Every structure is written in C-alpha cells, then in structure tokens.
Amino acid sequence: MARSPLTQVAVSGRAPRAAAQRPAVIHLLISLRPEQWTKNLFVFAALIFAQRLDDPGSVLRVAGAFAVFCALSGVVYLFNDVADRRTDASHPVKARRPIASGALSPQTAMMAAIVIGVPALAAAWWLRPTFALVAAAYLLLMALYSGPLKHVVIIDVLAISIGFVLRVFAGAVVIDVPVSHWLLVCTILLALFLALSKRRHELVLLADGAKGHRRILQEYSPYLLDQMIGVVTASTLMAYMLYATSPETAERFGTSLLGLTIPFPLYGIFRYLYLVHHKEGGGSPSELLLTDRPLLVCVALWGVTVALIIYRPLGI
C-alpha cells in the first residue's frame, strides 16, 4: 500500500529544514530547475532537419535561442512555484522545493524572475525580432498555464504540448527556415504522450491525496489517461513512420534511409511506457531521460543515426 503524501512529507521533513541552511542563491538556482532545461533541446530540431548543422552562424544562433529558452523556462518555474506553493507543500516530492518549503520567499523569486526574464527577451529580440515574438508567446502561454489553464481538463496537457511546439518553431524562426508540418505534428504528439504520462504518474504517486493536491486531477483517472496515452502513442509512432518513409522526406534529404531510424522511437516509447507502468516513473521526463540508461542510449543512437543519414559524412 502506498504511503499517503502527508506521511512521506513527515518522513522527509528533515530535508527541507537542512536545505533551509543553504545560501539564497543556491535556492534560487534550484528553483530555476536546470535539470529540466533538456526540454529546450527541441529548439535544435529545425537546425538539424533543415540541414544547417554545418553552418556555424546558424549553430550559434540556435545555441543563443537555447540559452534564451533556458532562462525563460527558469522564469516560468519560478512563477509556477510561487503560484502553487501552498499545494506543493502537501506533495511528497514538491514540498522540498525552496519556495514550497519556505527557504526562498515568493517576493525574492518574483524579483529574480523579472531580472532574468527581461534581459532574456531583450536577447531574443537581438537574435531576431520574430524569434522574440515566439519567445514572448511561449512565456505568455506558460504564464496562462500556471494560472487558469492548468485547471481545465485536456486543455492543461495541450498547453504543455504547444509549449514544445513553440520551442521547435522558435528554433526555425531564429535561423529563418520553414518548419516541416511533419516535425510539428510529431512534436505535439510526443509532448502529449509525455504530459499524459506525467498526469498518470501524479495520480498513482499521490493515491487518495491526488485530488486534494491538484484540482485538475479529479477530472482524470488512470483508466482515462491510459486510453488517451494509447491513442497518442499509436498516433506518435504512426506519424513518425509516415514522415520517415514518405517520398517528400526522401526527396528533401536525397535518401530514403531515414526509415531505418524507426526502431529507435519504437523502443524509446515502449521503454517509457514500461517505466511509467512498472517502475512508477514519468513524473519528470527530463530526469527519466538522464537517469535511465537504456532510454538515454536509445535517444543518443537515434540522434547519431539521423545525423549520419541526413548529412551523410561517410558517403552513405
């Protein structure tokens, strides 16, 4: 039988008290959640698939875009933690966050968000004005998610997914290349898969206390989420298979070998489902990617294989 959230918080109560002794700057850095910034690697997608990876200028621009989105992501996490500090205090894991535990004041967090966010948007404008508009749209969407949208069933996970699409779109805009509709479709479906899996993890982890922690969870059930995840899983894999084997893709890259990469997303998604259902994972996709070696190796091999096929450095 799973422990109740209150019991787990009581057991781990020493951790927040010990963490409170850290300097404020450390608490601020933790609240920015740098371990989650791997999500912003989606801005590199257009660079890779537009075959601009061998252009130093484009690489530098996208690297700058990545840095901007890391800063904006940190701003979003600060705002979200301030808004959810009371409910997070009853969560078995989130209670340890600096703002929820009281180690970092909401006033300090919001001031830091302004100090980080304004220069980040200015840098985005310097990189390209249209990129700044996309970055601002991302920031607005995530602010709305932290406010009303997270309490609207289905819209909550769609908002998270659109955030990933905006990352991909931003990476294309900053180097002024068109975005493939296939790339956008695969991105939103994969993001939906991850978001729904996270909702399921929250329901299972919090057990009977789930609805009290996050109001939107009362609108979901493990069965409903499993049905949604099943639909999105099939759609994600089908979309990628159609993209990888389509004549349009073969003509664009000058090769039909991209279909050879299909086993990687197949294994990766099935591995993720295994971790969600049998290892109670899925609460943090970024953490799962970095800590599960088979999943990390799968993603790395997929990236290397795609690069070899698209750029053909070995004359494939």
Q: Has residue 157 got a pLDDT over 60?
A: yes
Instruction: Report pLDDT for 43.
Output: 95
Instruction: Report pLDDT for 19.
Output: 53
User: In the structure encoding, which two tokens stand for residue 178, read together?
Assistant: 């068109």
Residues 185 and 314 in one domain: yes
Instruction: Report pLDDT for 313.
Output: 56
Instruction: Report pLDDT for 216.
Output: 79
Instruction: Report pLDDT for 282.
Output: 60
Residues 130 and 221 in one domain: no
Domain residue limits at 75: 24-179
Residues 133 and 187 in one domain: no
Domain's final residue, options 148, 179, 210: 179
Report how far Cα 28 is from the mean position of its chain's Cα atoms.
20
Residues 63 and 205 in one domain: no
Domain membership of residue 313 (yes or no) is yes
Domain membership of residue 19 (yes or no) is no
Q: Has residue 110 got a pLDDT over 80?
A: yes
Q: CA angle 299-301-302, nearest 5°?
A: 65
What average pLDDT does the chain have?
Answer: 85
Q: Which of 277, 44, 280 shows the shortest CA–CA distance to 172?
A: 44
CA distance linking residue 280 with residue 78, whole number of Å:
26
Instruction: Report pLDDT for 25.
Output: 87
Residues 117 and 57 in one domain: yes
How many domains does one find in the chain? Answer: 2
The region of weakest confidence among 33-42, 49-58, 177-186, 207-216 is 207-216
CA distance linking residue 64 with residue 56, whole number of Å:
12
Model confidence at 24, pLDDT cuts 50, 70, 90, reads confident
Q: Has residue 6 got a pLDDT over 60?
A: no
Please say whether the beta carbons of 163 and 192 come within 8 A.
no
Domain membership of residue 12 (yes or no) is no
Which spans in 42-104 are helix H? 45-49, 56-83, 85-88, 98-101
Q: Has residue 241 got a pLDDT over 60?
A: yes
pLDDT greater at residue 281 or residue 86? 86
Taking residue 236's Cβ as centre, other Cβ atoms within 10 Å add up to 21
CA distance linking residue 262 with residue 240, whole number of Å:
8
Instruction: Report pLDDT for 20.
Output: 52
Domain's final residue, options 164, 179, 194: 179
Domain membership of residue 198 (yes or no) is yes
CA distance linking residue 194 with residue 1, whole number of Å:
26
Residues 210 and 132 in one domain: no
Residues 166 and 275 in one domain: no
Instruction: Report pLDDT for 283.
Output: 62
Residues 194 and 232 in one domain: yes
CATH number of the domain that residue 125 is part of: 1.10.357.140
Q: Has residue 8 got a pLDDT over 80?
A: no
Q: Which of 127, 129, 195, 197 shows the shortest CA–CA distance to 162?
A: 195
Residues 198 and 108 in one domain: no
